Structure 1
Amino acid sequence: MKKLVIALMAVMLVAGLAMAEKPALEKPVTPYTPNGRAAEVEPNDDYMTATPLVLDDDMSAAINVGGDLDFFSFEATAGLVVNFETHPGDVNDTRMYLYDVDGTTELAYNDDGGQGLYSAFTFEFPADGTYFIEVIGYSATHEGTYTLTAREDLPCPTPENNTCEGALELVFGSSFIVDNCGATNDYDLPFGGCTGYPAHGLDLVYYVDLVENQELTVTASTGYDNALYLVTDCADVENTCVAGVDENSGSSPETLIFDAADAPGRYYLILDSYSSAGQEDEWEVTVGGVVATQQTTFDGLKSMYR
């Protein structure tokens, strides 16, 4: 009877673990290369043995065995706003906690706020003191490396072209660099939309007026997994998207190509990203395109003024 009870408990435990499993990632995460400024010192299994973490250091760390706890101490001043994030190594899934100066009172928690199944959160410290961050694997089966970063979250003004109402003109033949610091997530694409994947990042918007058979080519890159899409109605980006691209998993350039054919008019280009983590970074954008023939362009212009 005792063996039967133990067997039933084992089955229930396995079933519970199976229920806790997360769905597979739609896309692989982008590998992260730490700046080599800091490394975890074991043992650091509680706040009394925490490894010091400072702003702008990339802390190389690891969950050495299932259930390993990693504690880090952080010196903060009142009003300081910091983004803490775990970055991809081979642990695959982390959870992260922030504790008050007593080392036990929980102030913040996150599971999947970063890339893929990695954790991230932003916190404003209420007072001067030494606070503590704890990083663990999602479950006892998660072991491996990760990088922990602490970056000051400096406020930026909202860009003029954060939404379609303030969209800036795309100039053919131009190249430019733009920073999305201060942008917000105003436009989203669902999984399977015109880029093939979700797009839940920070948005910048540009407009372009195309004539018949005019081709637009936009190549853009940034430091994370970016997405580009072209819409005709910003109030319904999902259903009016005419072209989109998100072919790469990392920071490689994406190129969007669109031919206006027999649909001249105004289009809106949205610079977005796959991740909802809200990365702020610089975009490098190049705008090109061709007109099929001079006569076609002339005919298109005539049709617009009839």
Structure 2
Amino acid sequence: MTLLDLIRTQDGLVRHDQARERGLSPAAIGRRVAAGEWLEIHPRVYLAATHDLTARARLRAAALWAGDDATLVGHAAAAWWGLTDRAVGTIEIAVGPGGGHRVPAGVHAVRRAADRPGRVLVDGVWVEHRASAALGAATTLGLVEGARLLDRALQQQRISVPSLRAALAAMGQRHGVVLARRLVGLAEGDARSEAERDAARSLTRAGIGGWTANLPVDLPGFGRVVIDIAFPAQRIAVEIDGWAFHRDVDRFRRDGLRQNEVVIGGWRVIRVSWYDLQATPGYLADAVRRALRAAAAA
């Protein structure tokens, strides 16, 4: 591959040794840098001035600096896999035993000599496996945003629950494992149960009574349904969702038809998800109060 082709395939980047292998002397490389044709992004890693330092080029530049024994991990790896569109702040990269050189700004080198991550070469960059990258990124982003990342990846079948379990086991006792354990539990199906518990606690803390959990209701022409949280006297129903991953197309369709029948049966429906209860914990109590006032005024 020619030098120009290499630069083109590497998002405008080239490493010093790659340029040397293609016939450029150290002096010739220095002249290009001095003339502004190449910009030194990291020590001995250059960006052609005709290219922009895109988010993807920034990740590749860090990988080129660290060398082939290093591996993008966490949020950086998830971004390389295309699992998140959230901007990567500090690029985390696992370096091998020989990675002793000074770490440039914007890069965080982690030592995993005895705990080297499983990795795969993706478009010329060594990254940890997709599920490990997703879980690592999720712990970096925090509970709600991390859950969104995993939920989307599961929906798109980019990762699987078994692969997340394996990634969690591989974490050992590293930083973030407590949050990672909770996220994997939510992915395994705990999200809806947790949301139901959070909803009940929210109403109790707000001093709102008169509700029943898991109330069976017979709807003419549809059959028996179970309302997650019901205010029977006011015919107000609270329907609770977990992660989107847990609702396939058939389940989504059935839930829609079921809600239609509940509304036709004279119930006011408030629908909340695990995300709503985590991000805006006061929303449910406020919505229920407004629905109770509306029912009293009707």
Both structures adopt the same fold (TM-score exceeding 0.5): no
Per residue, is there more helix in 1 or in 2?
2
Which structure: larger Rg?
2
Which structure exhibits the higher relative contact order, with contacts defined as CA atoms closer than 8 Å and separated by 6 or more residues? 1
TM-score in terms of structure 2 length = 0.28
